[in-house]
């Protein structure tokens, strides 16, 4: 049965018990349906009041279908008048501000709400793409969000975290401030605490910096109190729900038992080449550029070398090669497929493990000099982020190396979907980049 029909029959009093339960379930999970129900209920109440004022009898639940239709037709004119009055009233009542954007540090937003410092904010959703920003609620509570973060301002005493991290300062005037997260919520009891939400896994972490909060898990009915330097993790999925609480000591013990991680960089041994060997202004010292186009003359491939002599590979359980993507500022992403595939090769030809300064396309290490270790994909809309590979082939390649120096070649397999050139050049940081690290090998030791 359609939701609108359920609402109509509910207001007429003809729903069965099972249908009432069905309607309640739909209302609990659909905000738009709740608004529709509220308007319908208000309209129904107003019509009944008008009927009384005009000496019209309200409908009898047991009335026949024909009588009910006649009654509904008789009220249609009054319904139109009442709805116009409701729309006029709602349209002229502006929503009241519940907070103010008090600080913005290198912030970029996706939001229909104003994002200039000092702006008054009404209820609504905001998405902080970069930077840090602070929202001061009318209740006195203050939240500092760290990008990327997505959240909804509900009212002066409530916020809903969808993704990202924030630190909340709550004075006495705002005791009882609520932070909703996937699977549950936290209630402040006078404190400063932090929350971190991972939207992809629907998990939330709470940590009390000073004071006290309570964390609630409605699905299981559990509630825990957290005090200074205590934290809780909250998750909710279709298989299970759980609430875990650990003290700072337990947290330190779990970290102490965690596998040890070793990182090895390139120490500046990075380079990339262009097929037509026109270097000059096309070579950027802080980037590794890769490209593949139909014209082929501007194709680019990158390569880099690492010294792993200091790593006991017999104690390594996993190895991961990590790259940080950065904007190249060259070419058009719209000429590429929506998803672009990159491949990393390990050089097995000893003569190509060392290269001259400013090597040519022909002399530089190439994919024919090695073996495929793994692939990764990058959306064309994304020009920053961390990517890489973690594979058995990578670990076996590292263990098979004889001299402790390994060289990798990076290419983009995806070409263009439009034109013969001017497609986006993808870039990854090298050790000279001022903001992010260059290629890294990460070893997890047993």
Q: 330: Cβ–Cβ under 8 A, 6 or more apart, which residues?
A: 289, 424, 425
344 near 389, Cβ under 8 Å? yes
pLDDT digits (tens, 9 = 90+) for 72-123: 444 444 444 555 454 444 444 678 999 999 999 889 999 999 999 999 999 9
**Measured between alpha carbons, how far is 362 from 371 in angstroms, rounded to an integer?**
18
Identify whether the C-beta of residue 206 lies closer than 8 Å to the C-beta of residue 193. Answer: yes
Whether cis (ω within 30° of 0) applies to the bond prior to 148 is yes
Interval 256-277 mean pLDDT = 84
Name the pLDDT band for 434 (thresholds 50, 70, 90).
confident
Residue 50 — very low, low, confident or very high, per pLDDT cuts 50/70/90?
A: low
**Residue 149's beta-bridge partner residues?**
128
Of 331, 274, 334, give the one whose Cα is nearest residue 302: 274
Q: What is the DSSP string of 33-69?
A: HHHHHHHHHHHHHHHHHHHHHTTPPPPPTT--HHHHH
For the chain, the domains span 3-92, 99-256, 262-445
Cα separation, 200 vs 383, whole angstroms:
20
- Taking the C-alpha atoms of residue 344 and residue 407, their distance in angstroms, rounded to an integer, is 10
Q: How confident is the model at residue 279 (pLDDT cuts 50, 70, 90)?
A: low
Q: Does residue 194 have a pLDDT over 60? A: yes
pLDDT value at position 241? 37
Higher pLDDT, 357 or 283: 357
* Sequence-ordered list of residues with C-beta below 8 angstroms from that of 152, at least 6 positions apart, any chain: 123, 124, 125, 126, 159, 160, 162
pLDDT tens for residues 331-368? 888 889 989 999 999 999 999 998 888 899 999 999 99
Give me the pLDDT at residue 68, please: 40
Name the packing angle between helices 17-29 and 31-53 (round to 10°): 120
Is the pLDDT at 414 greater than 80? The verdict is yes
**How many C-beta atoms surround the C-beta of residue 311 within 10 A?**
18
Tokens read off for 60: 């009898």
Q: Over pLDDT 90: what percentage of the chain? A: 44
Q: pLDDT class for 288, splitting at 50, 70, 90?
A: very high
What H or E segment, with its residue span, contains residue 367?
Answer: none
Where are the extended beta strands (E) located within 156-297?
158-170, 178-181, 184-198, 203-217, 222-226, 231-236, 241-246, 260-264, 270-274, 287-290
What pLDDT shows up at residue 42? 67
Q: Which two tokens stand for residue 248?
A: 């700072």
pLDDT at 52: 58
Is the pLDDT score of 185 beyond 50? yes
List the Cα angle 148/151/157 in 5-degree steps: 140
Fold that domain 262-445 belongs to in CATH: Jelly Rolls (2.60.120)
This prediction's pTM: 0.48
Residue 173 has what DSSP assignment?
A: G
Query: Are 99-256 and 262-445 equal in CATH topology?
Result: yes
pLDDT at 47 over 80: no
| Of 92 and 150, the one with more pLDDT | 150
Mean pLDDT estimate for the chain = 82
pLDDT at 349: 95
**CATH architecture observed for domain 99-256:** Sandwich (2.60)
């Amino acid at each position: 049965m359609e939701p609108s029909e359920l609402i109509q029959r509910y207001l007429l009093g003809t729903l069965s018990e099972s249908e009432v339960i069905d309607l309640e379930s739909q209302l609990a999970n659909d905000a738009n349906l709740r608004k529709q129900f509220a308007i319908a209920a208000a309209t129904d109440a107003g019509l009944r009041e008008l009927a009384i004022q005009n000496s019209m009898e309200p409908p009898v639940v047991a009335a026949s279908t024909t009588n009910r239709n006649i009654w509904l037709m008789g009220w249609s004119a009054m319904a139109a008048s009442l709805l116009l009055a409701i729309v006029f009233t709602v349209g002229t009542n502006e929503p009241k501000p519940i907070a103010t954007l008090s600080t913005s540090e290198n912030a970029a937003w996706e939001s229909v709400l104003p994002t200039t410092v000092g702006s008054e904010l009404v209820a609504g959703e905001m998405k902080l793409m970069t930077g840090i920003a602070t929202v001061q609620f009318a209740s006195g509570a203050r939240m500092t969000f760290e990008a990327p973060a997505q959240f909804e301002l509900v009212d002066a005493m409530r916020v809903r975290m969808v993704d990202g991290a924030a630190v909340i300062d709550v004075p006495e005037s705002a005791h009882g401030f609520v932070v909703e997260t996937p699977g549950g919520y936290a209630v402040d009891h006078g404190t400063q605490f932090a929350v971190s939400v991972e939207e992809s896994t629907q998990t939330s972490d709470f940590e009390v910096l000073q004071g006290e909060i309570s964390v609630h898990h409605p699905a299981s009915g559990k509630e825990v109190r957290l005090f200074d330097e205590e934290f809780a993790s909250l998750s909710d999925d279709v298989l299970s729900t759980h609430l875990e609480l650990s003290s700072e000591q337990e947290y330190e013990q779990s970290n102490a038992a965690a596998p040890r991680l070793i990182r090895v960089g390139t120490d500046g041994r990075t380079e990339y080449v262009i097929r037509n060997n026109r270097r000059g202004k096309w070579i950027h010292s802080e980037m590794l550029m890769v490209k593949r186009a139909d014209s082929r003359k501007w194709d680019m491939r990158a390569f880099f070398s690492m010294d792993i002599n200091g790593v006991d590979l017999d104690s390594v359980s996993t190895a991961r090669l990590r790259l940080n993507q950065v904007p190249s500022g060259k070419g058009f992403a719209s000429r590429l497929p929506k998803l672009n595939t990159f491949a990393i090769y390990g050089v097995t030809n000893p003569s190509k493990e060392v290269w001259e300064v400013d090597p040519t396309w022909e002399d530089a290490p190439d994919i024919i000099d090695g073996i495929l270790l793994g692939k990764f994909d990058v959306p064309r809309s994304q020009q920053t982020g961390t990517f890489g590979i973690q594979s058995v082939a990578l670990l076996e390649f590292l263990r098979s190396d004889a001299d402790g120096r390994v060289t990798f070649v990076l290419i983009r397999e995806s070409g263009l979907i439009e034109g013969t050139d001017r497609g986006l050049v993808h870039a990854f940081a090298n050790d000279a980049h001022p903001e992010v690290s260059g290629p890294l090998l990460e070893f997890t030791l047993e």
